[in-house]
Amino acid sequence: MMERQRRLGAALFVLCLLAWALAAGAGAAARQTDGAPVLTILLTGKSEEAQDEARQLAAALGRMGELARWCRFSAARPEEARRALAGGEAAGAVWLPEGFLAGVLAGENPAPVLYTAPGLPLEGALTAWMGRTAAALLTDSQAGIYAALAVYDQTADPPLTRAEAVAGVNLAFARAVLDRGGLFRTQLLAAAALPPAEHYALGTLACLLLLTGPLCWPCLGGGAPTALWQRARAVGLPGAAPALAGLGCAFGLYFVLFWLPLAVYSRTPLACLVPAALAALAASGFAGLVCGLAKDRARAGALALGLAGAMAVAAGCALPPVLLPAGLWAAGRWTLPALLRAVLAAPLGYAAPAAEWVALAGWGLALWAGAVLAARRRKGARAC
């Protein structure tokens, strides 16, 4: 008996370590995607005038939100740019020709030169791709400027001089390019409500802890009559008392297992109390039900594996949600692993609808009721 308990404890410890490692890995992946821009791009020129234009362009590009998320633009002298490229401190450097801004404003096509860092092949390829994209944007803008100037040339008595018209058209195009975010409404469409790292990490954590239900077999009254059942019958306690006591022990164990990884990852232990308690309510009820319906520990394990595995597939924990049929994914949102994942993500900064909180609480109460009824049925069968 002692050897069996030691094996059960070791298995539970290994499962907990795996679950906590998954949660820590999700945190590391999320922190890796946040933070400083990926690429550093320098702008420079040979003359003082070109370097002044480089500073103006670096400031303007830094105000473009979609670029600032990935690139850090700064002006540098030619020798500083060469050292940064050679040392791998910058992914690329743009050499501006003389009169670059004036040429663009006049409708010309001055050609800057882009150099990439030889020691950073991936960053250099990304920088070259961004350079080609910027060249395409500049070409489109120049085409618009030429079209506006063609209309100006056809006007019999223009109200503006040609220089004023060129400056006005360029300013309008510059504002449109810098304020592209105000022209469109961006909406993020995703198959899952959480980013992939949190989606799979929290879903796997929920499924792993559901699979540990059969490890609670001794405290949930499974197997042969235990001293707990015998003492309860001797003192005249109601039939549900031993089952409730076992469910309470399982609830305390699951509360610690859910709360600890959440508290470590979110760094807000108090905010994790309610989600962990609600998750522990549902997980302990699931453990009590599978142990109450099964005749022995092996059958309880098979039942837990079958139920948790089926719900994991429907909840998108085993396959990407985009590969699931629409009806299965819609129903899977209300399975136990999906609700656990949504509620456990609340301390991590992701809002869970109130309906999912209520649904998980309903799951927990229903599972507890089923576990108590199964325990009473098993007690009646023993008495017979």
Q: What is the CA 114 to chain-centroid distance, rounded? A: 35
What gap in Å lies between CA 155 and CA 241, rounded to an integer?
A: 94
Residue 329 is predicted with a pLDDT of: 85
Separation between Cα atoms, residue 247 and residue 281, nearest integer Å: 9
Q: What is the SS3 assignment for 377? A: helix
Contact 360, 339 (CB under 8 A): yes
Strand order in the sheet with 113-116: 71-75, 39-45, 92-96, 113-116
> Looking only at Cα atoms, what is the longest distance across the chain?
110
Q: How many CB atoms lie within 10 A of CB 25?
A: 14
| Torsion of Cα atoms, 138 then 143 then 144 then 148, to 10° | 140
Report the candidate in 291, 312, 310 with the shortest Cα–Cα distance to residue 300: 291
Give the helix/strand (H/E) hosting 232.
Answer: helix 227-235
User: Which pLDDT does position 234 carry in this prediction?
Assistant: 66
Q: Bigger pLDDT: 96 or 192?
A: 96
In 3-state terms, what secondary structure has residue 72?
strand
Q: Quick one: pLDDT at residue 1?
A: 46
Output the pTM of the full model. Answer: 0.54
State residue 357's pLDDT score.
Answer: 94
Instruction: Give the residue from 192, 222, 219 showing the smallest Cα distance to 337.
Output: 192
Of the listed ranges 24-38, 103-117, 282-296, 328-342, the one predicted with least confidence: 24-38
End-to-end CA distance of the chain: give it in Å, rounded. Answer: 27
Torsion of CA 222, 361, 241, 217, to 10 degrees: 10
Cβ–Cβ < 8 Å for 93, 105 = no
Task: List, for residues 12-64, the tens digit of each pLDDT value.
Answer: 444 444 444 444 444 444 444 444 556 777 778 777 887 787 888 777 766 66
d(CA 48, CA 55): 11
Using DSSP's 3-state secondary structure scheme, residue 173 falls into helix
- 78, 44 in Cβ contact below 8 A? yes
Q: For the segment 328-380, what is each residue's pLDDT rounded down to a tens digit?
A: 888 988 999 999 999 999 998 888 889 999 999 999 999 999 988 887 776 65
Q: Can you tell me the distance from the alpha carbon of 199 to that of 16, in angstroms, rounded to the nearest whole number?
A: 18
* Nearest-angstrom CA–CA distance, 341 and 138: 46
